[in-house]
Amino acid sequence: MRETVDLLCDLIRYPSTSGSEQGVIACIAEALAPWVDEVELVPITESIVHDPDYADPIQGLSYRDRHNVRAVVRGRGGGRSLLINTHADVVPPSGGQGTGFEPVMADGVVYGRGACDAKGQIAGLVRALSRLRADGTRLRGDLILHIVIEEENGGNGTLALVRTNERADGCIVLEPTDLKVVTASRGAIWFRITCRGQPGHSGSAGGTKSALKSAVATMERLEAYHAHLLACSRNVPLFDKFSNPMPLTFGKLIAGEWAATVPGTATLEGVLGFLPNRTKEEIMSEVRQVVLGSQDDGLDANSVSVEFTYRHDPCVVREDAAIVQTLKEAVARSGSEPIVAALPCSNDAWFYGNQLGIPTLVFGAGKLADAHSSHEMVCLRDLQRFSKVLLTCFVDWCGV
């Protein structure tokens, strides 16, 4: 376990926010190399920005010298193939977290940015692969690994690999699920709404129109729509245990340059989640109608524009699917009760499940509530169990 802890701490030390993943990607490729038959750094072309599923909440990113990692443990034939996906990028540190990139270990817990989301998953994966090789086990089916960049800002790393039309019989996306077998993940859209008004002096009320007030009115409209959407999304299987599994979040509001000047523009950015009873196309259409559909308060297409910078559909796999049953059995054999659950956040599973038609679930060590927080952490006991479950799943699914 010492090697796993050391690798996790090394990975945390890389400040691998979007656009700055080069160092950690090279480290991951080096860590995988002894335990796989093939490992390559896969470049991402600049043309990806024209893909209809490209996400751009962070504008201006270049893909020069930035790569995904693809690795393969070659099977000897006759078994099912398994694809494992997880990500190397992280969100910026939270307030009170310090740099976030200096790992701390205390009482069997590793703290730091990425500890569970998702560098802990990578360290646990490497441990499982090393044990597979150390045991001399030869799988029948191929084990394919996608370690990607830009998951946190829309999944562009996974998008690039999915567009190569990679095939597999099953897929597991590694995210913190508290070792629950997640068969349903919600979807999300990220929006950027720009309101335009008439700027002017605070003493010229008759000749001005505040873009900031328009943005506030837009927020009120979206909150009313969210309440309606939530009411229409009750009793969706596995999500009904959550009081609000599809929150509306206003993350940024930028307006104004001076306290005594009415702002001429205001930009509102946020996230709206939704459940498997709706599609991203339906949600985007309804949001446009909500924001632009009434001229009662001066909000219309002439004064407001709506962009969707991130668009993920929900991903659902049937509980009786073979990959779900295999993972549940692996969890049970590790000494834990296999719990099937939903994940109230979007992730990259939908690329594989919805676009490639591969039965895809989500699984991992650590708690979602700790991810992106100032106390992000992973318990080493859970990481060890996670690695054991992965190893069992590799053998049972791919065959020996």
Burial (0-12, 13-18, 19+ Cβ within 10 Å), 183:
buried
Q: Give the CA diameter of the chain.
A: 80
Helices marked H in the chain — which ranges? 2-12, 22-32, 119-134, 156-162, 211-231, 280-292, 322-333, 349-350, 380-398
Mode of pairing for the β-strands spanning 82-87 and 143-148:
parallel
132/134 Cα distance (integer angstroms): 6
The pLDDT value given to residue 297: 59
- CA distances, 269 to each of 154, 235, 248, 304 (Å): 14, 29, 11, 13
Cβ neighbours of 236 (radius 10 Å): 21
Q: Using an 8 Å Cβ cutoff, are 289 and 224 in contact?
A: no
Given this model, what pLDDT does residue 172 score? 98
Question: What dihedral do alpha carbons 52, 56, 57, 61 form, nearest 10°?
Answer: 170
Rounded CA-CA distance 391/383 in Å is 12
With H, G, I as helix, E, B as strand and everything else as coil, classify residue 32.
Answer: helix
Q: Tell me the torsion sign for CA atoms 224, 228, 230, 231.
A: positive
**What is the C-alpha to C-alpha distance for residues 168 and 166, in angstroms, rounded to an integer?**
7
Instruction: Map out the domains of the chain as residue ranges.
Output: 2-185+314-398, 187-312
| pTM score of the predicted model | 0.94
Would you tell me which CATH number, out of the four given (3.40.630.10, 3.40.50.80, 3.20.20.70, 1.10.3720.10), belongs to the domain 2-185+314-398? 3.40.630.10
At 96 the pLDDT is 81
Low-confidence ranges of the chain (pLDDT < 50): none
Q: CATH fold of 187-312, please?
A: Alpha-Beta Plaits (3.30.70)
pLDDT of the residue at 239: 96
- Residues making up the chain, counted from first to last: 400
Q: What is the pLDDT of residue 343?
A: 96
